[in-house]
């Protein structure tokens, strides 16, 4: 149970009954400190990382599993806690065989979707290891690499987890292999992706692969009820609706939470105190097929997100072609970008799967038919989460 979330829910009360008490608890892109039903996976990861407790580096590894199976949730929570323990000088880990705590390597989590370039990668790793913020301008990639080597020199080193290694927005396998090879020798890595080990070139350089299974139905129901109990008013939803969402999501926690988030937002905007079947129906209808995680959209640079925020508000008639979409977004006074830049961003977002260009089947003119712009994520969830972050 997330105690902090429950406290936040009570702190945010304003005397009026509200359906949604804490949006963060419902967010499909927010990870809790204690991921549900992932104890066995945590133990397997700890078995792999066990050498770190003796002050030595574990070997490289690859963690894999389907979308929404909790890979990111587990790795972010585990690495955050391990980093806290190794940097907290007042803490000590004692076991029956370890009387004292040797110096341990550092633990760094990096999202591969937002660190596609070599500069972004080294900047993220270095920023996690030093106390002061690393500048983003006026410094070269070589400078970052040299400083990273200096920071880790004469230290136990670091374990770097790189998430979403096979996402379209991430660096390619060959680039990652070269990037890992240029890290200091006292650094090992944990790559996290969806593909089977045999399909991933990185596994040539790993000692082990750890599989993650999809959430079981009842476990996913429990996860949804736990998150909803922290984020919604009491008795706002029943188990029957949670079971229905879990059945639809088929083991994908991200998609299940996206439906709950959209359904709750729909009910709240209608000033209702409970989530009904109609809200769930509408939320499921809003989730496109095929779809990408909202995390991929929020991993985009801020200026791309600005364009995406305007895009989700456009009427479908304004998205019948890239040209029309560009004109509609560019006419917004809050978008301080040229039409050429907006169009380029739309093409870039199509390349990473956040939007899709679908050719018109009713085109009767000459030349290539126009392509309407379709969203590959639930727009209500992106709109609300984006606005909450501003």
Q: Are 251 and 36 in contact (CB under 8 A)?
A: no
> Over the chain (390 residues), what is each successive 10-residue block's mean pLDDT?
56 62 93 79 94 92 96 94 75 45 85 94 95 90 95 94 94 92 96 96 95 94 93 90 96 97 96 94 96 95 96 93 93 90 96 90 62 94 95
| Residue whose pair of structure tokens reads 């200091």 in the numeric block | 184
- Distant-in-sequence, close-in-space partners of 175: CB < 8 Å, separation ≥ 6: 118
User: Which residue's entry shows tokens 């429950």?
Assistant: 6
Of 72, 40, 244, the residue nearest 170 (C-alpha): 72
Sorted by sequence, the CB contacts under 8 Å of residue 277 that are 6+ apart come out as 241, 244
Q: Are 60 and 94 in contact (CB under 8 A)?
A: no
Please count the residues of the chain. Answer: 390
Alpha carbon distance 379, 390 (integer Å): 17
Q: What is the DSSP letter of 33?
A: S
pTM, to two decimals = 0.87
Whole-number pLDDT of residue 367: 56
Buried b (16+ CB within 10 A) or exposed e, 88-108: eeeeeeeeeeeeebeebbbbb
Interatomic CA distance for residues 227 and 229, integer angstroms? 6
Residue with tokens 């580096």: 57
H helices, E strands: number in the chain = 16, 7
The Cβ of residue 273 has, within 10 Å, a number of other Cβ atoms equal to: 14
Structure tokens at 98: 């370890």
What whole-number distance in Å separates Cα of residue 195 and Cα of residue 297? 21
Tokens of 263: 């359904």
pLDDT score of 220: 95
Res 138: pLDDT: 93
Distance CA 140, CA 70 (A): 35
Asked if omega into 290 is within 30° of 0 (cis), the reply is yes
Q: What angle do CA 218, 222, 223 make, to 5 degrees?
A: 115
**Neighbour tally for 287: CB within 10 Å:** 18
> Is residue 355 within a helix (H) or strand (E), and if so which, with residue range?
strand 355-359
Is 225 in contact with 245 (CB distance < 8 Å)?
no
Cβ atoms 213, 69 nearer than 8 A: yes
């Amino acid at each position: 149970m997330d105690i902090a979330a429950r406290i936040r829910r009570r702190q945010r009360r304003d005397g009026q009954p509200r359906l949604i008490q804490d949006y963060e608890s419902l967010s499909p892109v927010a990870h809790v400190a204690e991921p549900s039903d992932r104890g066995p996976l945590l133990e397997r990861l700890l078995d792999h990382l066990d050498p770190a407790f003796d002050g030595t580096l574990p070997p490289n590894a690859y963690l894999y599993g389907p979308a929404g199976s909790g890979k990111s949730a587990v790795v972010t929570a585990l690495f955050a806690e391990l980093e806290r323990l190794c940097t907290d000088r007042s803490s000590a880990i004692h076991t029956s065989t370890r009387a004292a705590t040797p110096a341990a390597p550092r633990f760094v989590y990096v999202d591969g979707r937002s660190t596609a370039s070599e500069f972004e990668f080294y900047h993220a790793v270095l920023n996690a290891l030093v106390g002061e913020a690393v500048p983003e301008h006026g410094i070269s990639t070589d400078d970052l690499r040299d400083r990273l080597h200096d920071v880790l020199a004469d230290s136990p080193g670091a374990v770097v987890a790189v998430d979403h290694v096979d996402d379209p927005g991430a660096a390619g396998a060959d680039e990652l292999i070269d990037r890992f090879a240029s890290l200091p020798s006292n650094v090992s890595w944990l790559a996290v992706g969806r593909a089977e080990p045999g399909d991933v070139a990185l596994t040539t350089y790993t000692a082990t692969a750890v599989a993650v299974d999809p959430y079981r139905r009842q476990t996913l129901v429990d996860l949804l009820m736990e998150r909803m109990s922290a984020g919604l008013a009491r008795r706002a939803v029943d188990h029957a609706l949670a079971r229905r969402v879990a059945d639809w999501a088929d083991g994908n926690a991200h998609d299940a939470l996206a439906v709950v988030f959209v359904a709750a937002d729909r009910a709240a905007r209608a000033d209702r105190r409970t989530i009904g079947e109609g809200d769930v129906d509408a939320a499921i209808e809003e989730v496109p097929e095929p779809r990408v995680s909202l995390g991929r959209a929020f991993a985009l640079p801020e200026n791309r997100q600005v364009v995406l925020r305007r895009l989700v508000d456009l009427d479908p008639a304004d998205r019948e072609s890239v040209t029309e979409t560009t004109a509609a977004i560019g006419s917004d006074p809050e978008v301080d970008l040229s039409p050429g830049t907006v169009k380029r961003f739309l093409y870039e977002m199509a390349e990473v799967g956040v939007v899709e260009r679908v050719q018109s089947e009713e085109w009767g003119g000459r030349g290539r038919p126009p392509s309407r712009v379709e969203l590959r994520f639930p727009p209500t969830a992106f709109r609300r989460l984006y606005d909450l972050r501003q």
